Amino acid sequence: MDKSLNTEQVSVEPQEKRAAKPVDRPFLAMLGMLIGGFVGMLSETSLNIALPSLIAELHVSIGTMQWLVTGYMLVIGIVLPMSSLLQRIFSTRSLILFALCDFIVGAVISAVAPNFAILLIGRMIQGIATGLILPLMFTVATLIFPPYKLGAAMGMIGLVIMFAPAVGPTLAGMILGLLSWHWIFWLFIPFLVVAFILAAKFLPNVGDISKPKIDWLSIILSAIGFGGLVAGVNLASDSGWGSPAVIGTLVVSLLVLAWYIRRQLASKTPILNFRVFKKSQFTTGSILVMLDFAIILSSMYLLPMFWQNGLAIPVALTGIVMLPGGIVNAIVSAVAGRFSDTISTKLLTTLGFGITIVGLILLLLASSTSPMWYVILAHIVIMMGVPLAMSPAQTFGLGALDQQTSGDGSTIMNTFQQIIGAMATAIATSLLAFGSSAAGNVSHRIAFTNGVHVGLWFTLIVAIAALLLSLTIKGQKWA
């Protein structure tokens, strides 16, 4: 009898080591979402390399064309804040399957688009899907993986979030070297179909449906606040920061956003639970993630155009020369999550942002006559730094929350990550235009290079701010 009792005690896993919602094969349960998330994040930067060609083919300005990038993130920023509410109304499985179908529809519309307007509509439909998938990846991971494996799980998600934007220009460049830009979107579809099949077969519903009362006013305030903020910054690319329309849009958006946040704090069942910011650890981790994402999106927006317009590299070759950085990004993203289980967040994030700063300085020293290997090296250094900081910062921030608030935390983190990313891209665009025009009577290559440098100064300032913030992390040893 004693022996059987001992056997039972050994076979039962301690409570603190169990997942909140155990599943038999958690990786397979996540795989469909991971592929969908990868395609969603790939879509954020895959068009960057095609922008010069699209500007010429569709006859629009660079500021208008930028809407293909920031408009996509604008929709993500509107949908993301509602994901926590949607998870209480619909099952996580249903939301993921809907998102994957929605992405396929958006990709088909974009692939057959005859003009800029239809292409933008297709992109924005895709944004709905990405806005649903991103927070669900984090929510499901925190529920189906035990705490001691959460770092590795975040490493998988980090690989998706960091590697996809880094490798997007490479894949797009290779496609453009052989085919037209339409095939960038056709490429998404087989991956999305595979993701749908995997999710339909292996993904169970792990959420709790409570059918809360819908606060329609908060939804409207959220769409106006978050959407207007991105739209205002984006308008500055064409109209300038001193434009009354830009200033008015930003002021109204900030006031509406403040109203929205205040309403959420006063609500017993908020759409976004901003009370999680009372946890200083979550606040620090979230800000680090946002700044890291601003670095990757702004640099990945500027670099492909620098290759083509500053260094006069053909579009197909641009994709190839960006491949080494993408490979390094994948390797570092894959191991950074595992490191975060054993090495302090302070050490990893500080090292990551420090390496990123070195890479950005190398790029700032590049000119229109710099050798190809030098720019490749600078890109590799940046791609080592940004993923090294991302997964530890995510794990650190979400680790401060309990199971009841982890979903809210991941949604807030992803929402502001996309908003900050869209704003960083828009700011980089306006600085690129300003720097190019301020170069004076010089060749196009030199003027464009000057514009890239002005944009990269913004990225460098963001990286320095992130480094300084990582040094304030308390309660963790350096090793």
The ranges assigned to domains in the chain are 22-470
Mean residue pLDDT across the chain: 81
Amino acid type, 64: T
Q: What element of type H or E holds 479?
A: none
Burial of 12 (0-12, 13-18, 19+ CB in 10 A): exposed
**Contact indicator for 36, 102 with CB cutoff of 8 Å:** no
In 3D, which of 34, 271, 9 has the Cα closest to residue 145?
34
Give the pLDDT confidence of 318-365 residue by residue, as tens digits: 777 888 887 888 788 777 766 665 677 788 889 999 999 999 999 999
In eight-state DSSP terms, residue 281 is H
Low-confidence residues in the chain, pLDDT < 70: 1-23, 62-63, 147-148, 150-151, 162, 166, 207-208, 237-238, 316, 337-342, 403-404, 407, 475-479
The CA angle 211-216-219, to the nearest 5 degrees, is 100
Pick the CATH number of 22-470 from 1.20.1440.230, 1.20.1250.20, 3.30.420.40, 3.40.50.2300: 1.20.1250.20
Give the pLDDT confidence of 170-212 residue by residue, as tens digits: 787 778 778 888 888 998 899 999 999 998 888 887 766 777 7
Sign of CA dihedral 149, 43, 283, 478: positive
Per-residue buried b or exposed e for 74-106, using 16+ beta carbons within 10 Å of the residue's own CB = bbbbbbbbbbbbbbbebbbbebbbebbebbbeb
Instruction: Write down the residue that tokens 């795989």 correspond to.
Output: 31
Is pTM beyond 0.85 here?
no
Length of the chain: 479
Please report the pLDDT score of residue 338 as a whole number.
66
The CA angle 249-232-99, to the nearest 5 degrees, is 115
Give the pLDDT confidence of 294-315 residue by residue, as tens digits: 998 888 888 887 887 888 787 7
Alpha-carbon Rg for the chain in angstroms: 22
**Contact indicator for 345, 396 with CB cutoff of 8 Å:** yes
